[in-house]
Amino acid sequence: MRKIILDNLLNTRDLGGLKTKHGYKIKKKRIIRSGRLFESSKNDIKTLKNKYNLNTIIDLRTLDEINEKPDPTIDGVTYNHIPIFENGLQGISKEKSDETSHIINLIKAMSNAKEKMIDLYPAMVSEKYAQNSFNSIFKILIYNTEGSTLYHCSAGKDRVGILTYLILSTLGVSYEDILEDYLLTNKYYYELMNEMMEIARNYNIPEDIVLQIPYTQGVIEEYLENAVKYINKHYGSTYNYISNVIGINDEDIIKLRSNYLEK
């Protein structure tokens, strides 16, 4: 089980243990994907630092999101703000507010949520702003040769999901295994989604809107698939995208694999 058991963070997991197509596996306690780091308890931070040797955080959120819900300052851990989108462009997958009224407003805005999310994913690989961010993130991963790097957005599923696809693809993990990891979000957010649906029904939100909740608070294969199709159509392959668009060359890839893979 690669999920990291924490008090307040539902969707935090170690990518260590995933196998590549070339007979290697990712080292444990080196790359961590997460969401909602602002909700972490003191014990959560202690676990990440002491058990997982956390030394680097990459925050993928916009400045507006950070101002509303800033990450905790952690002694001995380097914080990097590298947003995937500029302010106002992150679509409809944001933090869940603690206030029920805000939850209801979010739910009411969920019309055609599936289509909106499917359209959002190609933007995360086509925007120049995002491409520059991916380059910066890969360079951090390449040069962090000790300890673990944790990257997160708000829910830890969309922006984190795309970045994880790019990282795992570059390390040589199969698409099938990447997809399996990607879909784990639904397992870890199952209770949260049911809670939001119950709240919505209690406030007499139309059922067709209620049924949109899993499309925004969870993930489906079509989201990631649409981004991959876009990459293949416009850039030829994920390798070409990594090399020619993000700017991670073969030497960088060798360093990345040497840093994070083992037999």
Structure tokens at 124: 């995360």
Q: What is the DSSP string of 61-72?
A: S-HHHHHHSPPP
At residue 135, the pLDDT reads 99
At residue 166, the pLDDT reads 99
pLDDT digit string, tens, across residues 92-113: 455 544 556 666 666 666 778 8
Provide the residue count of the chain: 263
H helix or E strand, kind and range, residue 261: strand 261-262
| CA distances from residue 74 to 40, 57, 174, 260 in whole angstroms, order as listed | 11, 10, 34, 24
Q: How far, in whole angstroms, is CA 198 from its chain's centroid?
A: 26
At residue 87, the pLDDT reads 73
Q: What is the DSSP letter of 24?
A: -
- Give this prediction's pTM: 0.94
pLDDT digit string, tens, across residues 112-155: 889 999 999 999 999 999 999 999 999 999 999 999 999 999 99
Q: Which residues of the chain have pLDDT under 50?
A: 92, 96-97
CATH number corresponding to 13-262: 3.90.190.10
